[in-house]
Amino acid sequence: MRLKIDVEAADGAARTGAVATARGTFRTPVFMPVGTRGSIRALMTHELASLTGADGTTPEILLANTYHLMLRPGADVIGELGGLHRFSGWDSMMLTDSGGYQVFFLDPSVSDEGAEFRSTYDGSTHLLTPEGAVAIQEQLGADIQMVLDVCAPLPSEHAVLRAAVDRTAAWAGRARVAHRRTADQALFGIVQGGTDAGLRRESAQRTVALDLDGYAIGGLSVGETREEMLPALDAALAHLPADQPRYLMGVGDPVSIIESVARGVDMFDCVMPTRLARHGTLLTDRGRLNIKRAEFARSDDPLEEGCGCATCTRYSRGYLRHLASVGEPAAASLCTVHNLTWMLSFVGRIRSAISAGTLDDLRVEVAAVWAGTGPGAAA
């Protein structure tokens, strides 16, 4: 199912609009929360569905992880139980990654056939091929599935990046042939090439030549600085179709998001908001806030004044510090509610700024608060 972006407004290369899938439509730019095993950690899917950002933005699309789900409980189990949407109770749209990112950081044995790896759960050996990744994701039943790619760590030698580009392109061609569930499931290609602008251009051109349903940029925010990431991103974006969605994989810090939007990216995912929440770190308009700090022990203030999330409207900093300090699971849930609501509000602000033609002003504001976080920066 070839996806198109209906652009409603633009500000330079940035655009805001909507992408229609077989299941529904999501607005762009969009941030996709990561539900690794079919659920956001510390948050049930019905709780996720109830979140609302400051401008009314709701979670419209959720990412789930093919690698983990194929191992436990197994794609066949999920397929028998009605597919991932029914299995997880998530009624809106869903994207599944191919599992390539997780596999390639497990030191697999890679050949032209695929990647052989050991399960992190029980040590069993598995071979993931491009065709197998497609079949597994068809069983899972997400609205968007990703081709199997080779994600090289950074820094890597040119020969390693070249091999990743060549193999990713070959595997994407095989995935396109194998993809049968075309009526209700889109297949996205992935651009690789590390921080090498020439390889990024080539990878984008070879991927687009396959005429896929949408396009992603992978292999960034994996060890390089933001100053290294953005030129590589520019090189790829210059060769991706303007009428289809562009997805930057695994990037979620505010500066990288807004700078990527300014270059024409439409979709993002990252574990950052939920991972930080589980450790008591909150996202606010003034930057990160560590709720475990002693100064909050007697604070009756909300996490963030003016935030309309269920956490900020009901609970004080003092109470949340108490929960986090004693290890209550509720702390992770309440902090996750806030962080994801903040992210929804953030992308809503970006969309509004694009529509108003004031994105550059917002870029300056975001950089002033968040410049010290993200790829290559100290946390």
We report the CATH number of the domain holding residue 195 as 3.20.20.105
- The CA distance from 86 to 98, in Å, is 20
Task: Give yes or no for residue 210 having a pLDDT over 60.
Answer: yes
What number is the average pLDDT over the span 35-63? 96
180 and 84 part of one domain: yes
Question: Do the domain assignments include residue 169?
Answer: yes
Q: How long is the chain?
A: 379
Question: Do the domain assignments include residue 376?
Answer: no
Which of 246, 276, 306 is where one domain is finished?
276
Which of 276, 293, 324 is where one domain is finished?
276
92-106, 123-137, 143-157, 276-290: lowest mean pLDDT where?
92-106
- The CA distance from 97 to 142, in Å, is 10
Task: Give yes or no for residue 140 having a pLDDT over 60.
Answer: yes
Instruction: Give the pLDDT score at 375.
Output: 67
- The CA distance from 168 to 149, in Å, is 5
* First-to-last C-alpha distance (Å) of the chain: 40
286 and 260 part of one domain: no
Concatenating the DSSP letter of every residue in 241-280 gives -TTS-EEETT--SHHHHHHHHTTT--EEE-SHHHHHHHTT
Please tell me which residue in 97, 143, 253, 266 is annotated as part of the active site: 97
Report pTM: 0.96
Local confidence band at 377 (pLDDT 50, 70, 90 cut-offs): very low
Structure-block tokens of residue 22: 């077989």
251 and 303 part of one domain: no
**Residue 151: closest CA among 165, 133, 169:** 165
30 and 176 part of one domain: yes
Question: Do the domain assignments include residue 377?
Answer: no
Task: Give yes or no for residue 369 having a pLDDT over 50.
Answer: yes
Local confidence band at 261 (pLDDT 50, 70, 90 cut-offs): very high
Residues spanned by the domain of 126: 5-276
Is 285 tagged catalytic? no
- The CA distance from 316 to 300, in Å, is 5
Instruction: Give the pLDDT score at 101.
Output: 83
51 and 41 part of one domain: yes
152 and 211 part of one domain: yes
259 and 300 part of one domain: no
Name the domain count of the chain: 2
Task: Give yes or no for residue 172 having a pLDDT over 60.
Answer: yes
Task: Give yes or no for residue 338 having a pLDDT over 90.
Answer: yes
Task: Give yes or no for residue 176 having a pLDDT over 50.
Answer: yes
Instruction: Give the pLDDT score at 103.
Output: 81
340 and 218 part of one domain: no
283 and 200 part of one domain: no
Convert the pLDDT of each residue in 19-34 to its tens digit. 999 999 999 999 999 9
Question: Do the domain assignments include residue 120?
Answer: yes
What number is the average pLDDT over the span 253-276? 98
304 and 258 part of one domain: no
224 and 181 part of one domain: yes
Per-residue burial over 240-257, b if 16 or more Cβ lie within 10 Å, else e, is: beeebbbbbbbbbbbbbb
Which of 276, 300, 321 is where one domain is finished?
276
Please tell me which residue in 143, 213, 266, 269 is annotated as part of the active site: 269
Is 97 tagged catalytic? yes
Q: Percentage of residues in the chain with pLDDT exceeding 90? A: 93
Distances (CA, A) of 244 to 13, 126, 180, 263, 349: 14, 34, 21, 14, 22
